[in-house]
Amino acid sequence: MTVLGIETSCDETAAAIVRRDPFGNGTLLSSIIRSQFKDHEAYGGVVPEIAARAHVQVVDKIVEAALNEAQLDFGDLDGVAATAGPGLIGGVLVGLVTAKAIALVHDIPLAAVNHLEGHALTVGLTEGLRPPYLLLLVSGGHTEFLKVGGAFQYEKLGGTIDDALGEAFDKVAKMLGLGFPGGPAVERTAASGDPYRFDLPRPLAGRTRPDFSFSGLKTAVRQVALTHAPVSRQVAADLCASFQKAAGDVVRDRLRAAMTIYEASGLARRLVVAGGVASNRALRTALLKECEASEYTFHAPPSGLCTDNAAMIAWAGANRIAAGLVDGLDVAARARWPISEVSVPVETVKE
Ligand code: ATP
Ligand code: MG
Ligand code: FE
C-alpha cells in the first residue's frame, strides 16, 4: 500500500510517501520538508497566524514535490494521511483539508493522524520495530513516558508538570541569544563547553512517579547567565554543556522510575525515544547508558526523522489504514489531543 502523508501542525510544511508491504514493513519513497524557520526568526518563536499562511502558500507544491521525488502520481496512492492534531489549529487545518480533498477527488481512504503517534511509530518505519515498548516522547510540546503495549495501545506513565524539554532548550537558547530553534544551537554551543563547570539542579530526581519538571532548571540557567552578564563565549558554552548534562542526568533518573512501572507489566525490555529532542547526542548517550545498565535495547529514529516530518505521518496513516482504522471526511482538526485518546480496543484492530 502506498500512502501520502502531510504534516503542518507547527512550523514545518512536509509531505512524504511511504510504501507498506503486507507484512508490515515500510519503505520511505520520498520526504520533503520546508521549514518556516526564516518566517518566524525575527519573533524568536512560532507565530501561529504566520505559520498557517505559510502552510497555505506552499502545501500543494510540497505534495507535488513528494510525488515527483517518488516518481508517482495521485493515481498511484492507496491512501492519504495528515496530522489532525495536536498543534496550532490554523496549520493543522491546512494539511487536514488538503488531505480530505485528495481523498475525495481520488477516492482513497483518509487517516487523520495524531502527530504524537507519528513520532511514536517512526521506529517501525526506520528499523521495523513494533510494539510493545517503553516510549519516551520528548519534543517541543511534550515530555512523557508511555507504555506502548501493542498496536495502537498507548498508556501514559508520567510526564512533565511544567515545561517540555524542547521548550527548555529553546528558552535557554533564547536567554543566551543563540537563536531559534534553540535545541540544535544549544547542542552546538555545548560541544566546546565544560559540563561540570556549573552546578545545576536535577528536578524530581529520585521520585517514584516518572514525572519531569524543567522550569527550576531553566531558572537556574537564567541565574547563572545573569550573574555572568555579559555572557562570554566560554560561559555560554560551559552553561549549555552543564544544562545538557543536567537534562541528561534528569532524564536518565526519570527513566529508571518509568522502567520500574513498565516492567511490572512483563513486556519486552525495549526503550524507544522519539520527538525533536531525541536528536540530541548527549541525551541519546545518557539514555543508552541507562538501557545498557538495565538490560533494555535502545531504539531511536535517525536524527532527521526525530524532528517534525511527514514520513512519520504517512507511516502511522498506512498502519491505521491497513488495520481498517479509516476516518470520515467530517473528521475534525484538534489543537489538543493526548495520544492516549487514539488507543484502539484490541478487538477492533483487524491485523
Ligand atoms: P510536539 O511534537 O510536542 O507537538 P513539536 O512538533 O514542535 O512539538 P518537534 O519538532 O518534535 O516538536 O521537536 C522540536 C523541538 O526539539 C524543539 O524544541 C527543538 O529545540 C528541539 N530539538 C531539535 N533538535 C534538538 C537537539 N539537537 N537538541 C535538543 N533539542 C532539540
Ligand atoms: Mg518545528
Ligand atoms: Fe513534533
Rounded distance between C-alpha atoms, residue 332 and residue 97, angstroms: 10
Residue with CA closest to ligand 1 atom 7: 140
DSSP β-ladder status, 12-20 and 133-138:
unpaired
Q: Ligand 1 centre and the CA of 183: distance in Å? A: 7
Q: What is the pLDDT of residue 135?
A: 98
Rounded distance between C-alpha atoms, residue 85 and residue 220, angstroms: 33
Q: Ligand 3 centre and the CA of 44: distance in Å? A: 18
Residue with CA closest to ligand 1 atom 25: 183
Residue with CA closest to ligand 1 atom 16: 276
The residue to mutate among 113, 186, 307, 309, having the most atoms of ligand 1 within 8 angstroms of its beta carbon, is 307
Q: Ligand 3 centre and the CA of 206: distance in Å? A: 28
Strand partners, 135: 146, 272
Residue with CA closest to ligand 1 atom 5: 140
Rounded distance between C-alpha atoms, residue 55 and residue 269, angstroms: 40
Q: Ligand 3 centre and the CA of 327: distance in Å? A: 22
Instruction: Please indicate if the annotation marks 119 as binding a ligand.
Output: yes
Tell whether ligand 1 has an atom less than 6 A from the beta carbon of residue 48: no
Instruction: Please indicate if the annotation marks 115 as binding a ligand.
Output: yes
Residue with CA closest to ligand 1 atom 30: 183
> Which residues have CB less than 5 Å away from ligand 3 (the ion)?
139, 308
Strand partners, 35: 12
Q: How many helices (H) and strands (E) does the chain have?
A: 10, 10
Tell whether ligand 1 has an atom less than 6 A from the beta carbon of residue 189: no
Cell of 219: 531558572
Atom of ligand 1 nearest to the CA of 170: 20
Rounded distance between C-alpha atoms, residue 88 and residue 205, angstroms: 32
Q: What is the pLDDT of residue 41?
A: 84
Tell whether ligand 1 has an atom less than 6 A from the beta carbon of residue 308: yes
Q: Is the dihedral of CA 248, 253, 259, 261 positive or negative?
A: negative
Residue with CA closest to ligand 1 atom 13: 276
Find all residues with CB under 8 Å of 248, minimum gap 6, and list them.
Answer: 282, 283, 285, 286
Q: What is the pLDDT of residue 37?
A: 87
Q: Which ligand is nearest to the CA of 36?
A: 2
Residue with CA closest to ligand 1 atom 9: 276
Q: What is the pLDDT of residue 273?
A: 98
Which of 300, 351, 264, 327 has its CA nearest to residue 110?
Answer: 327
pLDDT in tens, the chain (351 residues): 999 999 999 999 999 999 999 999 999 999 999 999 889 988 878 999 999 999 999 999 999 999 999 999 999 999 999 999 999 999 999 999 999 999 999 999 999 999 999 999 999 999 999 999 999 999 999 999 999 999 999 999 999 999 999 999 999 999 999 988 899 999 999 999 999 999 999 999 999 999 999 999 999 999 999 999 999 999 999 999 999 999 999 999 999 999 999 999 999 999 999 999 999 999 999 999 999 999 999 999 999 999 999 999 999 999 999 999 999 999 999 999 999 999 998 777 766
Helix ranges, the chain (H): 37-41, 48-70, 89-106, 115-127, 165-175, 182-190, 215-227, 233-263, 281-294, 311-322
DSSP 251: H
Q: Which ligand is nearest to the CA of 303?
A: 1
Rounded distance between C-alpha atoms, residue 253 and residue 135, angstroms: 15
Q: What is the pLDDT of residue 246?
A: 98
Q: Which ligand is nearest to the CA of 279?
A: 1
Q: Is the dihedral of CA 103, 59, 90, 85 positive or negative?
A: positive
Q: Ligand 3 centre and the CA of 247: distance in Å? A: 19
Atom of ligand 1 nearest to the CA of 308: 10
